[in-house]
Structure 1
Amino acid sequence: MKTLIIYESKHHGNTFKLVDAIEEEWGCDLCNIADKNVDKEHINFEEYDLIGIASGVAFGRLYRNIERFVASEKFPSNKSVFLLYTCGNRNLRSTHYCDHIKEVLKNKNCKVEGSYGCAGYDTFGPLKLIGGISKGHPN
């Protein structure tokens, strides 16, 4: 099964650490959607059986850049998709971070196979004053 993971990783590279470990173990292709050198217009989604969408969390949802790309006409319909996210909040049982993008995928007739979230080092805003949270993660 050929897999592509589209990701965006800011700040401490938490999401990249996650997708890089997956790529190393399983041999999937990675596409950093924030990379200015990536030709987002010509990603050949047809050659992939499964598409991963990976992002950090900001303000309670996946990064807006990822959400906009998935909502655009560039992202295909009728695909099997999985979601990955990293965030400083250790309450990872909360799956609401993916609610908005799941709705977008549903409207594109994509099947969400599952989602996975893990802790990531976070020093955003006032967290910087205390040295951040979730140090050493993802691990």
Structure 2
Amino acid sequence: MERERIAPYIGAVGCLVLAVVLSAPYFAITTQTQLLGDYYSAGPLGVIGAIFLATLGVVIFLSSVRGRADPELVAGIMLVVGVAIFGITALWAVSIDSVVLFSFPSNASWIEYHRWVSLAVSGVVAAAAGIYAAAVY
């Protein structure tokens, strides 16, 4: 019963943190707008879809906690969405061209690690969705 109660909160917080982490370069780097566009659209899908799904994930996770939706339905939806978020983020993280990655100004050198932090946080979202689905079913 404890996992069923805690997992949606962890998932919602993970989704919120992921949306903030993935959006950080957009707000922190004010120059090099074309380079930011190339960074976010790297790979076949880019990462914008993961930001959208993470934002949506907050609402979906909390809908079962608030009693607005069936917990089994929410667990199933978030399992699919969590795996999709992780897949999109992983595909994006390994597809970023090193030329794009190392073309940012020196004061934005943290961007070299940004993709791996994003991937780790998306893994937390997928794990929370899996734990919630296992607890509910």
User: Which bin holds the TM-score, normalised by the shorter protein?
Assistant: under 0.3
- Higher RCO by CA contacts (8 Å cutoff, separation 6 or greater): 2
State TM-score, norm by structure 1. Answer: 0.27
Higher Rg of the two aligned structures: 2
